[in-house]
Amino acid sequence: MSGMVIIGAGECGVRAAFALRMQGYAGEITLIGAEAALPYERPPLSKFGETKPICAVEAYQDKAITLRLGEPVRGIDRATRSVSLAGGETLDYDCLLLATGARARLFPGMDGCLTLRTDKDAQSILSQLHRDARIGIVGGGFIGLELAALARSAGAEVTVFEAAPRLLGRAVPPQIAQVLQDRHLAEGVSMMLGTGVSSANATRIVLADGKVLDFDAVIAGVGALPNTDLAETAGLDVQNGIVVDGDFRTSDPHVFAAGDCCNFDWRGQRVRLESWKAAKDQGEHAASAMLGQSDAYSKGPWFWSDQYDLGLQVTGIFDLAAPIRHRNTGGGTTVVFQIDSVGTLRAAAGIGPMNTTSKDIRIFEKLIERGTAVDADALADPEQNLKRLLKAA
């Protein structure tokens, strides 16, 4: 029996399955996951070291969503519109959604390092985080820094190695990165910035200058690669992710892709986002498109990170080579934003204790999604009420 088949039981795949039901689809929905565990949220793995199910198993039963967990997909036959499982079974589909996510990147010479993508990875890492354990972390991005905070909270000695001259060099403006760096230093994390790593394994890091450092555990947080093997083998267009159009349809009209694995157009630039919210939003949008509904995708990129008691939120995509404005919010918070060449808001970021900047960033997110011209000076002026500016836009 044909129906909707979703490969990938992460945030994107799960949200797409439920969105299909919410929008009235009454046919078969099959959600396939390579992991045997009930689908879980990944952000808490690096922030809190815990596993949180996306939905209870009863929710899938209530919506008649068939879960096929612990069953890797062997291949896709586009000619017959079918998916073959590793165990030999074949499933037909009317539409197929690839929500295959991403995997941890490991540069050559880093074999044996711990990485974080799954609940089992988190368990392996947590077992190493105890008082006085010496933990080396390669990479000063979100995952590396969140794990550094988690390790310090457990009492471990932590050293972060970053080849770039500053933390989060491709993700956030320097003003935001500096706040995080200062906090990590205050918590006792050693920061080795501008320090190349030539090789690493489970307990040893060799620096580019030949220096050898030993640890109780070494974690690599040097990015992620999209899981595109199935798409490539099936002959779909793949370029830094599975290439999709505005409806998250691939080069095959019956196959869609969304979440970490897809490459889509965001206001004239091709991007691939590794984001919980993007996975959720794109999964729901792809579900609509699979049912023949075609509304423009307008959700703005949004990221967050919790480190110690600091909450960081980013909306939009910064051009880090262009000027960045500051909104003086006070109260131990930092909010920055960027206007593009035609006067529309491009991106904003805020950091402070817990969720103190979340209301401001939510308004910035809405302004980005509306895509209308804004007054940069008014946004920078703390006396100007952001809600009124949003209504005026």
Predicted local confidence at residue 1, as pLDDT: 61
Sign of CA dihedral 261, 318, 115, 198: positive
| pTM of the entire predicted model | 0.95
315, exposed or middle or buried, with CB in 10 Å at 0-12, 13-18, 19+?
buried
Predicted local confidence at residue 393, as pLDDT: 78
Predicted local confidence at residue 50, as pLDDT: 83
Alpha helix (H) ranges present in the chain? 11-22, 43-47, 57-62, 119-126, 142-153, 174-186, 229-233, 276-290, 358-370, 376-380, 386-392
Contact 225, 102 (CB under 8 A): yes
Collect the ranges in the chain with pLDDT lower than 70: 1
346, exposed or middle or buried, with CB in 10 Å at 0-12, 13-18, 19+?
buried
User: What is the spatial distance between Cα 258 and Cα 278, in angstroms, rounded to a whole number?
Assistant: 9
Q: How many CA atoms lie within 13 A of 253 on its CB side?
A: 2
| Digit-coded pLDDT (tens) for 48-103 | 888 899 999 999 999 999 999 999 999 999 999 999 999 999 999 999 999 999 99
Contact 355, 373 (CB under 8 A): no
Predicted local confidence at residue 330, as pLDDT: 86
Strand partners, 307: 310
Predicted local confidence at residue 240, as pLDDT: 96
Predicted local confidence at residue 296, as pLDDT: 86
Distance of CA 57 to the CA centre of its chain: 24
User: What is the spatial distance between Cα 295 and Cα 286, in angstroms, rounded to a whole number?
Assistant: 10
Instruction: Tell me the domains of the chain and their CATH numbers.
Output: 3-104+224-290 (3.50.50.60), 119-220 (3.50.50.60), 309-392 (3.30.390.30)
Say which residues have a Cβ less than 8 Å from residue 26's Cβ, sequence separation at least 6: none
Position of tokens 């909306």?
A: 315
